[in-house]
Amino acid sequence: MNLETLDAALRPALFEYLLCLGDDALILGHRLSEWCGHGPYLEEDIALANLALDCLGHAEALLTLAGEVEGKGRTADDLAFLRDAYDFRNVQLVELPRGDFAFTITRQFLFATYACLLYEALQQSAFEPLAGIAAKALKEMRYHLRHSSEWMRCLGDGTEESHRRAQTALDELWMYTGELFEVDDTLRTLIEARIAPDMAALQPKWREQVEAVLREATLTVPEDPPYMATGGRRGHHTEHLGHLLAEMQFLQRAYPGAQW
């Protein structure tokens, strides 16, 4: 099905779902962009900026589609710059401050492993425009996975300090990974309509792939915490998202409609 043949009853759920995907890409992309000019050396600075641009590209495609599905004339820019924190649907994992290089790389590795599985499955989505975006984004996410996996091995199996920093990042981030695989009523509706994949079914694969790289990196898989962080998909965010949006949205808020 496409925009014209989409069942009207599915629109609200699909709009929410596209915000989830688009906001993950937008906020992660913004966090990556904060490294521009601060990378550990020139080549890696360029690499991180490239990853950031890829994510922003995915966000633009997904939020544009979200606006079309919503049908109220909102553009990707409207959705990115004119919503408040409680309207954002990203997981908390992507909004956490960039931390040190090991933290950024570990997050990218955990997210890219998830995103590759997600986009692979979404290529078979019954909603054709989404399947198309997934096919395009998958190629780029596979590179994110290759780059971040290589760094996980370097950091984990590197010096005492790099190992310690990577392990610390992993331990801190682990409790934010459960949210990636939550299935709520919105998602269940779309799973039944074969628009979205069953995320719960992808989780074991994610874990298997993550553990394989961590073993090579001589890092220890963290114990599952008593509870996983949750709420981002319902608009409950950490304090960090508000600060991020204050900076990201400043120009459009101070000078509405400004173009350059």
Binding site for other proteins (CB under 8 A): 40-44, 46-47, 50, 143, 146-147, 150, 154, 159
**Looking at beta carbons only, is 165 or 237 nearer to other proteins?**
165
Shortest gap between Cβ of 102 and other proteins (angstroms)?
A: 13
**Looking at beta carbons only, is 48 or 63 nearer to other proteins?**
48
Task: Report residue 211 CA to chain centroid gap.
Answer: 20
Shortest gap between Cβ of 134 and other proteins (angstroms)?
A: 22
Shortest gap between Cβ of 80 and other proteins (angstroms)?
A: 24
Shortest gap between Cβ of 159 and other proteins (angstroms)?
A: 7
Helical H segments across the chain, by residue range: 11-33, 42-70, 76-81, 92-95, 101-122, 128-156, 160-173, 185-192, 199-216, 239-248, 250-254
CB 63 within 8 A of CB 76: yes
**Looking at beta carbons only, is 44 or 198 nearer to other proteins?**
44
**Looking at beta carbons only, is 41 or 260 nearer to other proteins?**
41
**Looking at beta carbons only, is 2 or 218 nearer to other proteins?**
218
DSSP 220: P
**Looking at beta carbons only, is 2 or 159 nearer to other proteins?**
159
**Looking at beta carbons only, is 124 or 159 nearer to other proteins?**
159
Shortest gap between Cβ of 116 and other proteins (angstroms)?
A: 17
Phi/psi at 242 (5° precision): -60, -40
Angle in degrees, CA 200, 10, 124, rounded to 5: 50
User: What is the distance between the terminal CA atoms of the chain, rounded to a whole angstrom?
Assistant: 37
For residue 33, give both structure tokens.
């962009």
Task: Return the residue matching tokens 């079309």.
Answer: 68
Shortest gap between Cβ of 108 and other proteins (angstroms)?
A: 13
For residue 72, give both structure tokens.
């109220």
Phi/psi at 27 (5° precision): -70, -40
Distances in Å between the Cα of 224 and the Cα atoms of 62, 173, 210 are 32, 11, 14
Closest CA to 57 of 28, 32, 26: 26
Shortest gap between Cβ of 56 and other proteins (angstroms)?
A: 15
